[in-house]
Amino acid sequence: MAEENKNLRTPIVCVMGHVDHGKTTLLDQIRGTAIVKGEAGAITQHIGATEVPIDVIVEKCGDKRLADKFIVPGLLFIDTPGHHAFTTLRSRGGSLADLAIVVVDINEGFKPQTIESLNILKRFKTPFIVVTNKIDRILNWKSHPGESFLSTYKKQTPEVQGIFEQKFYDVIGHLYEQGFSADRFDRVTDFQKTLGVVPISGLTGEGIPDVLMVLLGLAQRFLESSLHYDVNGPGVGTVLEVKEEKGLGTTVDVILYDGSLQKGDTIVIGCLGEPIVTKVRALLKPRELSEIRYESKFQPIPKVTAAAGVKISAPDIGDALAGAPVIQATPETLDEVIEKVKSEIDDVQIQTDTD
């Protein structure tokens, strides 16, 4: 690993697509991937997001040589799917998500929210992949849980492969209609020109190793410059949710995408009026399942480094706004940070629906 690349942060990934096409199931499958490894103690639990570390991805893909090929530490999936989450969660005027997955049910094809998702990603210029989900529902498909797509595909009969091809190329056709040149991920030579499409089953996990691998490849190719960050720089993040918690009062769940944050730090949070200036009383992460005997679901941590999902407990944060910026300040930078938060808040859309 090259010295200058050591501080690339984890890319943030958002899942989008039409209702019932399998966004939640895909995220559950990915979370399962992460938790299996967690039993060996390697996973970090996050608030509002799931991190899949690079070693888990490499293990899933069964090729250890890949570990040296990738210079990002893993992938951080936002647990809330949908384009509402994508557009509400802003960072520096763009989307908080560095990458996206558009889920299309291979048996249903394109639907209105599929097209909406594609249009949003075009507008934000976010690199993304499409997954054609529910391949296990293709007539007579034999599932091979957790295997790569090509591995399971080769084990299907020619008839089943034929049905698959027809449905798959229908989706590719729809993508052309929307202005995208697209092809099956393993046939794409230049992801800048051609959109990669990965056939999967969120239910059986078929194709999931490919999804993780293609996302890493995209991050590596298109995001390297935007993933550089300063581990010791001021913490910068976006409010995911404002939540009342028993025993803690109002808390904000934050996705930190730059720098780091410590207990006691001064932070500025965006709201509809003057930005909130407050001090971090506690930084909290979910407790491991094995520690369930504790009364609180959360465990205090002294420090958090991007990219990460964390719950912040602090006084006077009731007016904080989902999608608003959170920036750490020092006495020297406070005025400047307040101005910055004020100017960024103009971009924030207030959360009004529930997808």
- List residues near ligand GDP by CB under 6 A: 17, 19-25, 81, 133-134, 136-137, 201-203
Find all residues with CB under 8 Å of 56, minimum gap 6, and list them.
33, 34, 36, 37, 42, 43, 74
For residue 98, count other CB atoms closer than 10 A to its CB. Answer: 27
Instruction: State which residue, 27 or 76, has the beta carbon closest to ligand GDP.
Output: 27
Instruction: State which residue, 24 or 250, has the beta carbon closest to ligand GDP.
Output: 24
292: its two tokens = 């369930």
Instruction: State which residue, 184 or 311, has the beta carbon closest to ligand GDP.
Output: 184
Instruction: State which residue, 21 or 83, has the beta carbon closest to ligand GDP.
Output: 21
- Minimum distance from residue 95 beta carbon to ligand GDP (Å): 19
Q: Is 24 annotated as a binding residue?
A: yes
Q: How far apart are CA 72 and CA 52, in angstroms?
A: 11
- Minimum distance from residue 29 beta carbon to ligand GDP (Å): 8
- Minimum distance from residue 294 beta carbon to ligand GDP (Å): 31
Q: Is 18 annotated as a binding residue?
A: yes
- Minimum distance from residue 108 beta carbon to ligand GDP (Å): 10
Find all residues with CB under 8 Å of 145, minimum gap 6, and list them.
204, 205, 206
Q: Is 136 annotated as a binding residue?
A: yes
Identify which of 196, 168, 195 has the alpha carbon closest to the alpha carbon of residue 179: 195
**Torsion over CA: 262, 327, 332, 10 (sign):** positive
Instruction: State which residue, 17 or 48, has the beta carbon closest to ligand GDP.
Output: 17
User: What is the Cα 147 distance to its own chain's centre?
Assistant: 22
Instruction: State which residue, 16 or 308, has the beta carbon closest to ligand GDP.
Output: 16
Q: Is 22 annotated as a binding residue?
A: yes
Q: How far apart are CA 99 and CA 126, in angstroms?
A: 6
For residue 179, count other CB atoms closer than 10 A to its CB. Answer: 9
Q: Is 285 annotated as a binding residue?
A: no
Identify which of 117, 31, 131 has the alpha carbon closest to the alpha carbon of residue 79: 31
Q: Is 46 annotated as a binding residue?
A: no
Q: Is 82 annotated as a binding residue?
A: yes
Instruction: State which residue, 25 or 220, has the beta carbon closest to ligand GDP.
Output: 25
Q: How far apart are CA 19 and CA 33, in angstroms?
A: 23
Q: Is 21 annotated as a binding residue?
A: yes
- Minimum distance from residue 102 beta carbon to ligand GDP (Å): 11
Cα distances (angstroms) measured from residue 109 to each of 20, 27, 105: 12, 20, 6
- Minimum distance from residue 214 beta carbon to ligand GDP (Å): 17
- Minimum distance from residue 105 beta carbon to ligand GDP (Å): 8
Q: How far apart are CA 90 and CA 14, in angstroms?
A: 12
**Which residues sit in the known binding site for GTP?**
17-24, 79-83, 133-136
**Which residues sit in the known binding site?**
17-24, 79-83, 133-136
